[in-house]
Amino acid sequence: MKKLLIGTGLILLLIVSGCSNSIGPINPSPNNEDRPNEQMKPSSNKKDNQMGMMGHGHDLPLASSAGKNELNIPPILKSDSETQSDVHYTIDAQIGQTEIFDGIQTKTLGYNSSFLGPVVKLKKGQTAHLTLKNSLDEETTFHWHGLIIDGEADGGPHTVIEPGEEKEITFDVKQDQATLWFHPHPEGKTAKQVFDGLAGLLYIEDELEDTYEYGKNDIPLIIQDRTFDDDKQLNYEAVKDPDGTMGETLLINGTVDPRLTVNKEKVRLRLLNGSNMRNYKIKLSNGEQFEQIDSDGGLLNEAVELTELQLTPSERAEIVIDFSQFETGEEIKLMMDDETVLLPFKIEEEKPTGKNTIEPVKNEVEITDEEKNMPVTKEINLSGMGHHVAINDKQYDKDRIDLTQKQGETEIWEIYNEPDMMGGMIHPFHIHDTQFKVISINGEKPPKNLQGYKDTISLDPDDRAKIAVKFEEKGIYMYHCHILEHEDNGMMGQIEVE
Ligand code: C2O
Ligand code: CU
Ligand code: CU
């Protein structure tokens, strides 16, 4: 009862603050934009994560990892053939069964395997030839999230591969090193196919030396939450939520109750939030600092020291934890801000050490004065909930092009998350075929870990961000909310780049 009263009070507060916003200045004053802001995203109570969910029924708790199983490390996909200049891969979307729980087979989907997928490695400067096979019993697409790629190969909802069919795509790899990922994108069916297991990692490598070693001290963490039924099966229709499906069971790289054995050395963790809708605020159990070195599209200008990091669906962050500062046998865990354990670490002296741990050379992502002063030429308004989500008051229509932009030209997009009667919720806004730069959030310079390349920007209710967007390739591309049920419900638009 007490909770309810507090809740009602907060909702009233939200409505009041919502109203005062609507009569206040709509645009943040531009001369704020250079104010240095070393903090994480400025947050008032109103913008608190949990608060933003109020009234949307989104508080399904996630069970802590008991650390019973050593983390599965996805294999690296073997090429069909590779030369300096060209690489060929085959990627096959399949139906399978996976022993997620001891002695029980769960029906799942996967790429080249029964669940999730291998890491696909591409090198900058190479031409990639991918044979894409659909061995499912329904249509699918192969989308390369974060990759700069022409519209025909991007794998949006208009490039369906029918069951039993295959298709080859060819493209040049032009990006610097980055941790990207791939997943299906068929119209209205993305959430279910990802839920059932279709998701894999895509690593771009460049001329910079790889200073960590995959699987030893360079570890991917695909973080997902799922609800299993009484028979330990994935039954999407039974648990789906039009505002984003949450699960009570944590999976990292498909492992339940994961733990990771590490050495007393620096370990690079490549985090991907591969969940349909859950946001994770991540910290270490002892409150120690860690470094973030990479955001969605590549290395940051410098390592950023953090004690907490928020990851919304589809976002990536690479963090480095220095385990040499901890004692062997000390209990360190990766956890959420509400103390849910994501990944307990087992610190060992004996595990063979990976290569050295010289920090990779940093990027130089710079926001030019020109970009800072350019007028906003695209406005994106995110609104609604459940089946009524919309972008600029419209829902996705495959026959409608919503925006156009010229190849190679930068434009400033302003994204606004319009609160609703319940206060609203976080929407992670994603654009295909680009790595954009965040110019400002609510008129202020973004925190340091958002000052690198991004393909998804998470907005709290009433947040307004300016981003500098450039497309290097041509074609028709999606932009959408990456809560997968919002995307499926039409919170998506199309831009044609000419
Ligand atoms: Cu992760 Cu439209 O994409
Ligand atoms: Cu994408
Ligand atoms: Cu959304």
pLDDT of residue 18: 34
pLDDT of residue 329: 84
Pairwise pLDDT comparison (43 vs 61), residue with the higher score? 61
Ligand number nearest CA of 418 is 3
Ligand number nearest CA of 198 is 1
pLDDT of residue 351: 59
Alpha carbon of 485 to ligand 3 centroid (Å): 8
pLDDT of residue 43: 37
Residues with CB under 5 A from ligand 3 (ion): 427, 481, 483, 486
Exposure string over 346-382, b if 16+ CB within 10 A, otherwise e: bbeeeeeebeebeebebbebebeeebbeeeeebebeb
Ligand 1 contacts CB of residue 270 (under 6 A): no
Give the mean pLDDT of the chain.
89
Pick from 298, 352, 350, 286: which is nearest to 322 by CA? 286
Give dist(CA 227, CA 106) in Å, integer. Answer: 12
Pairwise pLDDT comparison (176 vs 28), residue with the higher score? 176
Residue 25 in this model has a pLDDT that exceeds 80? no
Atom of ligand 1 nearest to the CA of 480: 2
pLDDT of residue 354: 62
Q: Are the C-beta atoms of residues 488 and 480 closer than 8 Å to each other? A: no
Ligand 1 contacts CB of residue 314 (under 6 A): yes
Pairwise pLDDT comparison (14 vs 220), residue with the higher score? 220
Give dist(CA 444, CA 151) in Å, integer. Answer: 33
Q: Which pLDDT tens digit goes with each residue over 85-121?
A: 999 999 999 999 999 999 999 999 999 999 999 999 9
Ligand 1 contacts CB of residue 486 (under 6 A): no
Name the pLDDT band for 59 (thresholds 50, 70, 90).
confident
Alpha carbon of 140 to ligand 3 centroid (Å): 22
pLDDT of residue 449: 95
Other Cβ atoms within 10 Å of 137 Cβ, number: 8
3-class secondary structure for the chain? CHHHHHHHHHHHHHHHHHHHHHHCCCCCCHHHCCCCCCCCCCCCHHHCHHHHCCCCCCCCCCCCCCCCEECCCCCECCCCEECCCEEEEEEEEEEEEEEEECCEEEEEEEECCCCECCEEEEECCCEEEEEEEECCCCCECCEEECCCCCCCCCCCCCCCECCCCEEEEEEECCCCCEEEEEECCCCCCHHHHHHCCCCEEEEEECCCCCCCCECCCEEEEEEEEECECCCCCECHHHHCCCCCCCCCEEEECCEECEEEEEECCEEEEEEEECCCCCCEEEEECCCCCEEEEEECCEEEEEEEEECCEEECCCCEEEEEEEHHHCCCCCCEEEEECCCCEEEEEEEECCCCCCCCCCCCCCCCCCCCHHHHHCCEEEEEEEECCHHHCEECCECCCCCCCCEEECCCCCEEEEEEECCCCCCCCCEEEEECCCCEEEEEECCECCCHHHCCCECEEEECCCCEEEEEECCCCCEEEEEEECCHHHHHCCCEEEEEEC
pLDDT of residue 422: 86
Give dist(CA 454, CA 445) in Å, integer. Answer: 15
Ligand 1 contacts CB of residue 145 (under 6 A): yes
Atom of ligand 1 nearest to the CA of 183: 1
Alpha carbon of 199 to ligand 2 centroid (Å): 12
Give dist(CA 182, CA 462) in Å, integer. Answer: 30
Kindly report which listed range (51-60, 324-333, 454-463) carries the lowest average pLDDT score: 51-60
Ligand number nearest CA of 144 is 2
* Mean of pLDDT values over 200-218: 91
Alpha carbon of 182 to ligand 2 centroid (Å): 8
Residue 51 in this model has a pLDDT that exceeds 80? no
Q: Which pLDDT tens digit goes with each residue over 402-417?
A: 999 999 999 999 999 9
Pick from 150, 145, 144: which is nearest to 132 by CA? 144
Alpha carbon of 221 to ligand 3 centroid (Å): 23
Two tokens, residue 83: 């030369």
Atom of ligand 1 nearest to the CA of 146: 1
Give dist(CA 186, CA 189) in Å, integer. Answer: 5
Give dist(CA 396, CA 478) in Å, integer. Answer: 10
Ligand 1 contacts CB of residue 185 (under 6 A): yes
* Mean of pLDDT values over 371-389: 96
**Which amino acid, 267?**
V
Give the CA distances from residue 126 to residues 118, 120, 121, 174, 396, in Å, rounded to whole numbers and listed in that order. Answer: 19, 13, 11, 8, 34
Alpha carbon of 453 to ligand 1 centroid (Å): 16
* Mean of pLDDT values over 259-286: 96
* Mean of pLDDT values over 131-147: 98
367: Cα separation from own chain's centroid: 23
Residue 353 in this model has a pLDDT that exceeds 70? no
Ligand 1 contacts CB of residue 141 (under 6 A): no
Ligand number nearest CA of 199 is 1
Other Cβ atoms within 10 Å of 227 Cβ, number: 17
pLDDT of residue 57: 53
Residue 19 in this model has a pLDDT that exceeds 90? no
Ligand 1 contacts CB of residue 432 (under 6 A): yes
Alpha carbon of 42 to ligand 2 centroid (Å): 27
Give dist(CA 487, CA 7) in Å, integer. Answer: 29
Give dist(CA 113, CA 97) in Å, integer. Answer: 9
Ligand number nearest CA of 156 is 1
Name the pLDDT band for 211 (thresholds 50, 70, 90).
confident
Q: What percent of the chain has pLDDT over 70?
A: 86
Residue 49 in this model has a pLDDT that exceeds 80? no
Ligand 1 contacts CB of residue 46 (under 6 A): no
Name the pLDDT band for 311 (thresholds 50, 70, 90).
very high
Residue nearest to atom 3 of ligand 1 (CA): 145
Ligand 1 contacts CB of residue 430 (under 6 A): yes
Ligand 1 contacts CB of residue 121 (under 6 A): no
Atom of ligand 1 nearest to the CA of 185: 2
Residue nearest to atom 1 of ligand 1 (CA): 145
Burial zone of 209 (CB within 10 Å; 0-12 exposed, 13-18 middle, 19+ buried): exposed
**Which amino acid, 260?**
L
Phi, psi (rounded to 5 degrees) for 224: -140, 155
Q: Which pLDDT tens digit goes with each residue over 449-461?
A: 999 999 999 999 9
Q: Which pLDDT tens digit goes with each residue over 238-261?
A: 999 999 999 999 999 999 999 999
Q: How many residues does the chain have?
A: 498
Q: What percent of the chain has pLDDT over 90?
A: 81
Contacts of 26 (CB under 8 A, 6+ apart): none
Q: Which residue(s) pair with 266 in the sheet?
A: 322
Ligand 1 contacts CB of residue 316 (under 6 A): no
* Mean of pLDDT values over 147-169: 98
